[in-house]
Amino acid sequence: MFSRRTNLIRSAVVGCALAGAAVVGTAPAAAAPVDEPAFTSHTFRTDFVAGDPFPFGYEILDAATNGTGNVRFSAGPMCNPLGPRCAGFTQDLSVRWINFANGASGATVVGSTPTTITTGNGPVGIWATAVTSPIPIGLPAVGLLNP
């Protein structure tokens, strides 16, 4: 009888342990932190012929996407195309965009601090020019990305 009671208790303890392990293993997925998808960077170059500190220069627009319908824009430093020199500052860029899938469009001014725009999913056309006074003189950055 003693051995039967021990076996019953042992079976109950093992059964409870297995049931507890099964419950812990099936915890809701919402309890785990959800990582944001990684951003993929797309660069667009805009050239200008009237600027400071270089009479000729270029600036890079970085458009980072992560598949969520958002684009994170930032402008890189102004650089001299004749030599490997870049200025220690960024000139603002005027960015215009249009989503060819849903018709959404907009414009924003982008500097060195990243600016996030909700464009929606689908191919997005980008047009970026330097913001100078009185008018931007140069070649715009034109491109297509899929956020």
**Omega into 134 within 30° of 0, i.e. cis?**
yes
pTM above 0.75, yes or no: no
Structural contact between residues 39 and 66, judged by C-beta atoms closer than 8 angstroms = yes
pLDDT digits (tens, 9 = 90+) for 109-134: 999 899 999 999 999 999 998 886 55
Structural contact between residues 86 and 80, judged by C-beta atoms closer than 8 angstroms = yes
DSSP three-state, residue 32: coil
Residue 137 pLDDT more than 90? no
β 57-65/40-48 pair status: antiparallel
pLDDT digits (tens, 9 = 90+) for 83-108: 778 887 788 899 999 999 999 999 99
